């Protein structure tokens, strides 16, 4: 009974490169959320997606960041032209539906920008 899978677990990029973070939700879950966590801080919401739809992207920076959750395959968080301030842990969560349903979190991807 696999939980939320994220890969890679650790990602190192140089400034200006692209970072692609992948998230496979719990089997049967159609709602995916991405959060970012800086050291010693709580998680900050970025984006909420359902299959092929972005429901809420109010936490996403306006430039360089994008997310998708295609009909087939994992959800992808893409960061173009990374800067040092993008260094953080990125967590994906999934749920069966919206509302008062538990969000199950993955182990996170730790992005380091050199």
Partner 1 sequence: GESVGLHLPTLSVQEGDNSIINCAYSNSASDYFIWYKQESGKGPQFIIDIRSNMDKRQGQRVTVLLNKTVKHLSLQIAATQPGDSAVYFCAENSRMDSSYKLIFGSGTRLLVRP
Give yes or no for residue 25 binding partner 1 (CB under 8 A): no
Give yes or no for residue 24 binding partner 1 (CB under 8 A): no
* DSSP-assigned beta bridge partners for residue 112: 12
Helices (H) and strands (E) in the chain, counts: 0, 11
Alpha-carbon gap, residue 59 to 34, rounded angstroms: 9
Alpha-carbon gap, residue 46 to 90, rounded angstroms: 10
Out of 11, 88, 106, 111, name the contact with partner 1 by CB under 8 A: 106
Out of 24, 75, 94, 95, name the contact with partner 1 by CB under 8 A: 95
Within 10 A of 43 (CB to CB), how many other CB atoms are there? 18
Nearer to partner 1, 19 or 43 (CB): 43
Give yes or no for residue 13 binding partner 1 (CB under 8 A): no
Q: C-beta of 16: minimal distance to partner 1 in Å?
A: 25
């Amino acid at each position: 009974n696999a939980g939320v899978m994220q890969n890679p677990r650790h990602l190192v990029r140089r400034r200006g490169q692209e970072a692609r973070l992948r998230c496979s939700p719990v089997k049967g879950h159609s709602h995916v959320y991405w959060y970012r966590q800086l050291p010693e801080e709580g998680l900050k919401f970025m984006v909420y997606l359902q299959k092929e739809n972005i429901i809420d992207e109010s936490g996403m920076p306006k430039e360089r960041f994008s997310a998708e959750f295609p009909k087939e395959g994992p959800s992808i968080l893409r960061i173009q032209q990374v800067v040092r301030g993008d260094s953080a842990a990125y967590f994906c969560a999934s749920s069966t539906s919206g509302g008062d349903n538990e969000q199950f979190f993955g182990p996170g991807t730790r992005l380091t920008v050199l």
